[in-house]
Amino acid sequence: MNIIYNPAPSDWQEILMRPTQTVEDIEATVTDIFKEVKSKGDTAVAKYTAIFDGITLNTTVVSAQEIEAATATLDQDVKDAIQLAKSNIEKFHQAQKTERVLVETTPGVSCWQEKRPIQKVGLYIPGGTAPLFSTILMLAVPAKIAGCKEIVLCTPPSKDGSIHPAILYTAQICGVTKIYKVGGIQAIAAMTFGTDTIPQVYKIFGPGNQFVTVAKQLATNYGVAIDMPAGPSELLVVADDTADAAFVASDLLSQAEHGTDSQVILVSTSRDLITNVEKEIQVQMGTLSRKRIAQKAIDNSKLIYVEDDATALALIDEYGPEHFIVCVANEDFYVNGIQNAGSVFIGNYTPESAGDYASGTNHTLPTNGYAKQYSGVNLDSFLKSMTFQKITKEGIKNIGNAIEIMATAEGLDAHKNAVTLRLEALKQE
C-alpha cells in the first residue's frame, strides 16, 4: 500500500483519485452495444452474451424447475443465513414507510403528498468473480415492501449457462417476478429498451463494473431512471490508537477482494497504527482465496497519516467514501461531522461486512464520490411522491387574486383567465 504523511490539501484531489477508467474510455463501446440491442433485441443480447460470458443459451429465461433445483441443492445453513438477513433488512426498510402528508395552506386550499410504487423495476445482480446474492436482498426486499408490480432481475450466466443456486433461491423468497441469464451492458440495454423476451422497466437498480455503470448512465438518455452511478466498491477507515489493527486490516481487505478496481483507504492520526495495519494486511492476505484480486486493489490503495481529527474529517469529506468506518476514541466528532458518505460503521465491532449482509441497512451505495449528492438505496428509491390538491370556493377566493397578478406579470393570459372566470362565476352566486 502507498503510505502518505501529512499531504497538503492542494494534493488531496490527486491522492484520492479513484483507480478507474474515465467514461470516455468505455462510452463508445457501451453506446454501440445499446444501439445494437435497441435495433436487434434478443439477437444482440445473445451475441454479446456469447462474446462476454462465453456461452450460447437456448433461452435466457430462468425456469421454475431451475429455481426448484437450486433451492434443493443449497445448504440449509446458507438458507438460514439468508432468511435472517432478509428479516433484518425487512425490519429496517419497513420502518422507512411514511404516512400521507396533508396541509391546509390557506383556508379552502388543501395540499397533500402520497407515495406510489414504481410499477416496473429492473435489478442488476453482478455475477462475475462473486455471485452477489446479498444484493438481491438489498434491492428486491424494499421493492416488494414498496409494492412494485414487476420486479425483473438480470444476472450473468456462468460458463455452463447456470446461475448460482443462492441467487435463484434469494430471488424467489424476495418476490422477484422474472429472472434472466443476461449480464453486463447487454442486460442494462435490454431492460432499457425491452426485447421480445426481456421487459422494459422504468428504473434500473444495482451495482456493477465500470461498463455497467456507464451503461446505467446511458439508460437515462432513453427515459429510464437509475438508482445511482454505483461502480467499483470502496472503503475508507478512520482509526487511531484505540483501534484494533487486525480488525482494520480485515475491513480493508474485505473491500479489496471485491475487485481489482476496488479502492481502500486508511486515514489515521497514529503512525504506529498505520505500521501495524500494513503488517496485518500482509499476514491476512496470505489466507485469502481471492488473494490475487485483493492484492491488485491494495496496490492502488492508500494509508494516509494526518496530525489531527479536523484535518482527517476534511479529507474524508473531500473523498466522499461509499463505506466509512469510524474506529477512534472521539467517534462523535466524526459521526456528527461527516457530510459525505454512503453508509457509516461505528466502533471496533461494526465491520462493513455487517452492512453488506445482515444488519439491516442497504449496501447499494454511491461510489466514485457520488456520496456528495446521492443517497444509498432505500425504500423511497422504489417509490414516487405524488402531490394532490383540492380547492374550495373559499380557497380560490383566497388565492385567486395573487394567481392573477403573478400570471399577468409573466405574460400568461390564459393562466390568469382560468382563475378570473372562476372568480367571476362566484360573484354571480
Question: Pairing mode, if any, of strands 383-391 and 109-117?
Answer: antiparallel
Flag whether 124 is marked binding. yes
Sequence-distant (≥ 6) Cβ neighbours of residue 277 within 8 angstroms = 239, 245, 248, 249, 252, 266, 268, 303
Flag whether 415 is marked binding. yes
Flag whether 233 is marked binding. yes
* Alpha-carbon span 261 to 18, nearest angstrom: 8
Flag whether 295 is marked binding. no
> Active site includes 322?
yes
Residue among 155, 115, 108 nearest 131 (CA): 155
CB 325 within 8 Å of CB 316? no
* Alpha-carbon span 41 to 56, nearest angstrom: 15
Flag whether 39 is marked binding. no
Q: Which long-range contacts (CB under 8 A, 24 or more apart) does 357-361 make?
A: 357/81, 357/85, 357/134, 358/81, 358/84, 358/85, 358/88, 358/89, 359/88, 360/88, 360/89, 360/91, 360/92, 360/93, 361/92
Alpha helices in 5-131 (DSSP H): 12-15, 23-40, 42-53, 64-73, 76-94
CB 65 within 8 Å of CB 219? no
The three cell numbers of residue 19 are 483507480
* Alpha-carbon span 121 to 385, nearest angstrom: 16
Catalytic residue of the set 257, 322, 352, 363:
322
Flag whether 209 is marked binding. yes
The three cell numbers of residue 98 are 411514511
DSSP type of residue 220: G
HSE-up of residue 318 (Cα within 13 Å, Cβ side): 17
CB 125 within 8 Å of CB 136? yes
Flag whether 323 is marked binding. yes
Catalytic residue of the set 234, 257, 280, 323:
323
> What is the enclosing helix (H) or strand (E) of 302?
strand 302-305
> Active site includes 36?
no
Binding positions for substrate are 233, 255, 258, 323, 356, 410, 415
Q: Which amino acids are annotated as binding site, given as ranges?
A: 124, 186, 209, 233, 255, 258, 323, 356, 410, 415
Annotated binding site for Zn(2+): 255, 258, 356, 415
Binding residues for NAD(+): 124, 186, 209
- Please give the positions annotated as active site: 322-323
